[in-house]
Amino acid sequence: MPPLFLSVKRPYASSGSVTHLVALVALVCHSMFIGGETTPPDPTTNTDIPMSNANSIQSLTAALEELQSNVTQSFQTLNDAIAQLHNQQKVSGAHSDELAPFHAWLQVELTPFFGAKSAKLIVDKLNRSRAIGDFRYFIPVYKVVEGDIEKRQLMKTVSAVYRYKFGGFRSTEKYALRSEIKYATACPHCGSLAQSLVNRLISEGLWK
């Protein structure tokens, strides 16, 4: 029987897909030749491929075409996701550069109350929470002032002002955050810091 050649496009696939493909080809070949060794064809005999073998070839070809289609779609989806991530990183990076002056100012304001190291940590975590859109990421920072009620209240005020500035004033949190901040400005312990933060909001046209 003459060698069997299949013309199939070779997609870029994972090692798992290739292994599966090789096993499938081997299975078809085994089913075609089992029961005896292959010998040169006798010109006087019928060399037509049995129907079962033809069906196996058709099934293999269909499986290969489906595999190629799936792999192509998977890589296209992956490429689209990577491109979207790159675009988000560019936007986020540019936005972070614009926020650098505010974050530097905020760190200076917090340093007298929390110390330089903790002030930087607070600002970094707030910035990260803003970037990922989830301020629950900031919750563990409260451990820095664990046991100090006054500093904990200060930190809550800072968080409220930060959330108000970066979207809270446009959402359903607006009134709750505003009320919390106004109460903090009257607090004998955190009033000075709260008022400084509110003054910043006023200068930016975010507090009316």
| Amino acid present at 19 | T
Number of separate domains in the chain: 2
Mean pLDDT lowest for which of 14-18, 97-101, 174-178?
A: 14-18
C-beta neighbour count of 136 within 10 angstroms = 8
For 56, the domain range is: 1-95
Identify whether residues 15 and 62 lie together within a single domain: yes
Identify whether residues 91 and 119 lie together within a single domain: no
Last residue of a domain, one of 66, 95, 124: 95
CA dist., res. 17 & res. 21, Å (int): 6
Last residue of a domain, one of 95, 129, 145: 95
In a domain, 109, yes or no: no
Give residue 95's pLDDT: 56
C-beta neighbour count of 126 within 10 angstroms = 24
Identify whether residues 91 and 120 lie together within a single domain: no
Contacts of residue 197, Cβ cutoff 8 Å, sequence gap at least 6: 109, 157, 158, 161, 181
Q: What is the mean pLDDT of residues 110-118?
A: 95
Q: What is the mean pLDDT of residues 107-122?
A: 96
CA dist., res. 156 & res. 21, Å (int): 59
Q: How confident is the model at residue 171 (pLDDT cuts 50, 70, 90)?
A: low
Identify whether residues 121 and 60 lie together within a single domain: no
CA dist., res. 193 & res. 199, Å (int): 10
